[in-house]
Amino acid sequence: MHLLLVITVPVAVTLFALADEIVGFLFTLASYAPAVPILRVQAVSLGLVYVDYLLVCILMAIGRERRWIAFVAASCLLNPAINWLLIPAAAASLGNGAIGAAVGKLVTEVLFLVCTLRALPSGIFGAESRRVAARAVALGVLLGAFLFGSRTLGAPWMLAAVLGGGGYLAAVLRTGLLPPDVTGWIAGSLLRRDRTGAAPGGPTELQPALAGAEGPRSADAA
């Protein structure tokens, strides 16, 4: 869960903050401007989908898959009803009915998350999980403020995304939000890379010296 939160938060925040630039880069903003608010709502839904998927895996692992089936069945009935209400309302007030569909998806995911959390046994997520979630959200808020501020100042959005992502990663490592096994895996990968990079130069530099040292030894032996 900790790793999922640490990865999901910056992805959702970046999609939300840079929706204009992403749509304009992939398509043309003049033609696809109505997709910007939809992408922002879907960015939030995306984070909830990731979390919901993990919680469903926990439900299945502990033998409560029937509750998951009940939640899915309820969602299949609830989501069309919400869309039936929100799509015409969004079309009338905002001129974009797809926003209503995106909001309906978000509402469904929130309710699914609440029901799934209530179905889990108490004590699965302790104080450490709450601490990681709170700090990941706080870092996500700072990342969003940085990205919006960079847009206001006219900085290139790709550069802002790279700098913001790098700062987020540095803060995550600094605050120890990553699980110890993941941190150990990253450190081990970096060490292996350093050793692999140093290996080609080592033997080639030592080979002439070893050859020169073996020559006198073989002569003495003769």
Helix pair 157-175, 127-153: axis angle to 10 deg = 150
> Which ranges in the chain belong to alpha helices (H)?
2-17, 19-26, 29-32, 35-61, 65-93, 97-119, 127-153, 157-175, 180-198, 201-221
pLDDT over 90 percentage in the chain: 56
d(CA 91, CA 114): 29
Encoded amino acid at 103, one letter: V
How far, CA to CA in Å, does 222 sit from each of 53, 97, 210, 213?
74, 93, 18, 15
Name the token pair of 144: 């969003």
The one-letter amino acid at 183 = T
Quick one: average pLDDT of 62-70?
Answer: 89
- Give the mean model confidence (pLDDT) for residues 65-86: 93
**CA pair distance 48, 207, nearest whole angstrom:** 58
Q: Are 35 and 51 in contact (CB under 8 A)?
A: no
Q: What is the pLDDT of residues 135-174, one digit of tens each?
A: 999 999 999 999 999 988 989 999 999 999 999 999 998 8
Which token pair is 26?
């992939």
Q: Using CA atoms, how far apart are residues 26 and 33, in angstroms rounded to an integer?
A: 12
HSE, CB side, 13 Å, CA atoms: give it for residue 27.
11
Higher pLDDT, 129 or 89: 89
The string of DSSP codes covering 156-177 is: -HHHHHHHHHHHHHHHHHHHT-
**pLDDT exceeds 60 at position 221:** no
What distances in angstroms separate CA 105 from CA 86, 127, 135, 212, one per listed residue?
Answer: 11, 30, 26, 74
Q: Are 3 and 185 in contact (CB under 8 A)?
A: no
Query: pTM value?
Result: 0.78
Please give the structure tokens belonging to residue 139: 């870092």
pLDDT at 220: 44
Pick from 41, 35, 148, 142: nearest CA to 96: 35
